[in-house]
């Protein structure tokens, strides 16, 4: 069987648009069984599997036991997870920013930092109900609409991230991690140390590491999508790295491999198909 990949994207309901960038429906079949790297991102991992579970054989935190998930919700991370697959994957990926964690789940994203949870274990029966409903719906628009209904019901717009931290997060992401932290704190009116404490408590990682993840993600997508005549050194310069060696070090730390190894080993992934601006 020839490998096939189907990807369908949709925007969430307007009430969810402030913290969910998009839905990505994916169906991949005919690939050789293997392993996939779940990489650090500006989005939390939030995936409703269809049929096959998501089998995490190595968590980002080695202290967390490997597990399989019907609907997985993970906090932000600064290392890769390892996911096993049998050549077939199907589900809906919800591109959730950490700004939505309070509104949807009543907790800061920092409480889920570097861990993966079954969605129902976070919010209760409504998580199981979403997973069950998605299994019965064959059409992507109906699956996306089910996510809209479930998440709109969960949302409490009185629970929000403070304006200062919302602005800081969006600035770091929108600049691809190139915004300097000192001026960022000054514009808010906080000291750099106070920003680091508040930012870390809300999101699970400090602003310097968040900037590093945003820069890595931009570089990763650029490496994947640019023509072969564009060198990794050129990508490094465009994304704000000192040089290619600097980019290679970030890949080693955040992805666990070099850029060329990642390109050679990876099958198309949910993260890669989620789209990236910048």
Determine which helix (DSSP H) or strand (DSSP E) holds 218, and give its type and residue range. Answer: helix 207-225
Name the DSSP class of 44: B
Segment 181-187 long-range contacts (CB within 8 Å, at least 24 positions apart) = 181/207, 181/208, 181/211
Distance CA 227, CA 217 (A): 18
Stretches where the chain sits below pLDDT 70 are 267-278
CATH topology of domain 163-265: Arc Repressor Mutant, subunit A (1.10.10)
pLDDT at residue 91, rounded to an integer: 97
DSSP 153-188: HH--TTS---HHHHHHHHHHHHTTT-S-HHHHHHHH
Helix 207-225 to helix 181-188 angle (10° resolution) is: 120
Q: Position of tokens 């404490």?
A: 197
Q: How many residues does the chain have?
A: 278
pLDDT, tens digit (0-9, with 9 covering 90-100), for 38-83: 999 999 999 999 999 999 999 999 999 999 999 999 999 999 999 9
Q: H or E segment at 235?
A: helix 232-238
Quick check: 15 and 152 in contact, CB under 8 A?
yes
CATH topology for 4-154 is Jelly Rolls (2.60.120)
- Grouping H, G, I as helix, E, B as strand and the rest as coil, residue 10 is strand
Rounded CA separation 25/8 (Å) = 5
Which tokens in the block code for residue 223? 């490496």
| pTM score of the predicted model | 0.93
Domain coordinates of the chain in residue numbers?
4-154, 163-265
pLDDT given for residue 278 in this prediction:
34
Give the DSSP H or E segment for 73.
strand 71-74
Q: Provide the pLDDT for residue 7.
A: 96
């Amino acid at each position: 069987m020839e490998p096939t990949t189907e990807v369908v994207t949709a925007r969430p309901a307007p009430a969810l648009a402030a913290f969910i960038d998009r839905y990505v429906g994916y169906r991949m079949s005919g690939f050789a069984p293997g392993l996939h790297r779940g990489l650090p991102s500006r989005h939390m991992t939030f995936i409703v599997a269809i049929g096959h579970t998501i089998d995490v054989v190595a968590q980002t935190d080695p202290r967390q036991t490997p597990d399989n998930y019907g609907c997985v919700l993970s906090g932000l991370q600064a290392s890769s997870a390892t996911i096993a697959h049998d050549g077939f994957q199907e589900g809906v990926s919800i591109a959730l920013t950490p700004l939505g964690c309070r509104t949807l789940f009543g907790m800061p994203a920092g409480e889920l930092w570097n861990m993966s949870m079954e969605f129902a274990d976070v919010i209760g029966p409504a998580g199981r109900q979403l997973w069950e409903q998605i299994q019965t719906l064959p059409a992507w628009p109906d699956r996306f609409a089910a996510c809209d209904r479930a998440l709109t019901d969960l949302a409490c717009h009185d629970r929000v991230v403070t304006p200062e931290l919302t602005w800081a997060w969006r600035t770091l992401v929108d600049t691809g991690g190139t915004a300097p932290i000192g001026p960022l704190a000054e514009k808010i009116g906080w000291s750099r140390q106070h920003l680091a404490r508040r930012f870390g408590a809300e999101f699970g990682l400090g602003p310097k590491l968040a900037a590093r993840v945003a820069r890595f993600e931009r570089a990763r997508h650029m490496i994947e999508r640019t023509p072969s005549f564009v060198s990794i050194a050129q990508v490094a310069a465009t994304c704000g790295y000192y040089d290619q060696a600097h980019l290679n070090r970030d890949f080693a730390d955040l992805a666990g491999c070099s850029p060329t190894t990642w390109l050679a080993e990876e099958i198309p992934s949910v993260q890669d198909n989620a789209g990236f601006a910048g």
